[in-house]
Amino acid sequence: MKLFDVYPLYPIELVKAQGSKVWDKNGKEYLDLYGGHAVISIGHSHPYYVEKMTTQLKNIGFYSNSIIISGQEELAEKLGRISGYKDYNLFLTNSGAESNENALKLASFHTGRKKVVAFSHAFHGRTAGAVAVTDNPSIVAPVNDTSHVTFLPFNRTDELENTITEETCAVIVEGIQGVGGIQVATIDFLKALRKRCNETGAMLILDSVQCGYGRSGKFFSHQFAGIDPDMMTTAKGMGNGFPIGGVLISPEIKASYGLLGTTFGGNHLACTAANAVLDIIEKESLIENAEKIGNYLMHELKSISGIKELRGRGLMIGIELEQAVGPIRDALLNKENIFCGYAGKHTLRLLPSLGINQQIADQFLTSLKAVLN
Ligand code: PLP
C-alpha cells in the first residue's frame, strides 16, 4: 500500500525539535516560525509537557468517555479561568473541523433552525458541515453542497440585517481569518454580528481554532471587541501537537445524552497535553509575550521595503508582499533555514510558538531583509 496522495510535500524529514528549533534527519537546524500550522503553542517538546505526557502514558493512556476522567474537569476549570469563560461548558473533540461540526450541530438542535451565515474567504475545515461553511467551492463535494449556507462579505455590516433572520441557527466567523490571509475581524463587525444574533436568536460561533489560545495577545481574538459568543471552537494550539479540540458552550445551551459524542475526545493523554499547555501559558506568561513580540515584529517589519501590507494581532502575522510569496518562502526555508507559512499568492504567514523571544524575531527580520533583497 502507498499513502493516499493529498499533500504536496517539502523533501524534508524532521526528526528532532526543541522550543522553536527543529532538525532534519541530516542534522540541519531550522527555525520554526510556522509551528506546524499554529499548533506548537508552548514550543516543541517543552520539558514540562514531555514529563507530564510520559507520566500519564505510564499510568493510563486511554479510556472511553463512559468513565470519569478527572483531567477533563481539570481542563474545563483551567480553560474557563484562563480564557475568562468560567461559566461556559466544554465539549472535547479531536480537531478543529470536528469542533466546528459539533458547534453547528448544537446551534441547530438548540434553535430548531437550519440556516447558517458564513463569510467570504472563511476556512472552517474539511468535514461535511465545516466545509459547507468554508468559502472554497473547489473543496466542497457535491454531497456537502447545501442551500442552507449563505456567504456574506467579511468585515461588512450592510447585509447582516437582511440575511441573519429568525430562520438562522448560526453565524460562524473567525476572529482573525487564517487561511483567508490573516484578515482581522474589525471590532465594529464583531459587535454588529453579536447585536444581530441577539435580535434574531441566532447562535454566534467564533471559530478560534487558529486565532485562539493566546495567539492574538488575548486568549480569544474577539475579546478585543468585548463581545461574548454563544460558542467558541478551538483545536491546534490546545494540545501543542497532541490532537485535541473543544467547543466552549454558553450555559444557556443544553444537549440531551447521545446528541454529541466521540470515542477519542478528551482522553487521558489529550487532557494531559491540554492541561500542560495551559499551565505553561500561565507560568511563562505566553499571552503577554505573544502581544509583546508580535508588536515588536509589526513595528520592525514596517521599515522593510517590499512589504505591501501588514495584518494580524500578536503572533498571528500576515506579511503581504509586493511579489509572489512562493519563492520568498522557499528562499527563507532553503537559504535561511526558516519555516514560515503562506496564505494566498502574496501573503507570508507567521504562526510561531507563543514563547519566541526578541532574538528569534531579529533573526527572522534579518533573513527576510536578505531574501527580499
Ligand atoms: N478552523 C480554522 C480557522 C482553521 O484554520 C482550521 C485549520 O486550519 C480548521 C478550522 C480545521 O482544523 P483541523 O485541521 O484541526 O480540522
* Predicted pLDDT of residue 227: 98
- pTM for this predicted structure: 0.98
Q: How far is CA 331 from CA 29, 303, 367, in A?
A: 15, 20, 9
**Ligand 1 mean position to 211 CA, how many Å?**
10
271-306 per-residue burial string, b: 16 or more CB within 10 A, e: under 16? bbbbbbbbbbbeebebbebbbbbbeebbebbeeeee
Residue to probe by mutation, ligand 1, list 34, 101, 121, 123, most atoms within 8 Å of CB: 123
Q: How far is the CA of 325 from the centre of ligand 1 (A)?
A: 22
Burial classification of residue 1, based on how many CB atoms lie within 10 Å of its CB (0-12 exposed, 13-18 middle, 19 or more buried): exposed
Q: What is the pLDDT of residues 19-32, one digit of tens each?
A: 999 999 999 999 99
Residue 179 three-state SS: coil
Looking at the chain, the whole-number percentage of residues with pLDDT higher than 70 is: 100
pLDDT value, residue 103: 98
Tell me, in angstroms, the distance from the centre of ligand 1 to residue 96's CA: 5
Q: How confident is the model at residue 209 (pLDDT cuts 50, 70, 90)?
A: very high
Taking residues 319-337, what's their average pLDDT? 97
For ligand 1, pick from 124, 177, 231, 234 the residue to mutate: most ligand atoms within 8 Å of CB: 124
Ligand 1 neighbours, Cβ below 6 Å, are 95-97, 100, 123-125, 174, 178-179, 207, 209-210, 235
Average pLDDT score over residue span 341-368:
97
- What's the alpha-carbon Rg for the chain, to the nearest Å? 20
210 CA → ligand 1 middle, Å:
7
Chain centroid, CA 230 distance in Å: 18
Question: What value does the mean pLDDT take over residues 344-357?
Answer: 97
Task: Categorize the per-residue pLDDT at 238 as very low, low, confident or very high, splitting at 50, 70 and 90.
Answer: very high
pLDDT value at residue 35: 96
Q: Whose CA is nearest to atom 10 of ligand 1?
A: 124
pLDDT at 14: 98
CA of 370 to the centre of ligand 1 (A): 32
pLDDT in tens, 178-195: 999 999 999 999 999 999
pLDDT tens string 115-131: 999 999 999 999 999 99
The residue to which cell 507563543 is assigned: 354
Compute the CA torsion angle 193, 195, 198, 201 (nearest 10 deg): -40
Interatomic CA distance for residues 277 and 334, integer angstroms: 31
Confidence tier at 60 by pLDDT (50, 70, 90): very high
Position 85 confidence tier, pLDDT thresholds 50, 70, 90:
very high
Cα-to-centroid distance, 233 and ligand 1 (Å): 10
pLDDT confidence band for 323 (50 / 70 / 90): very high
* Tens digits of residue pLDDT in 5-59: 999 999 999 999 999 999 999 999 999 999 999 999 999 999 999 999 999 999 9
- Contact in structure between 141 and 176 (CB atoms under 8 Å): no
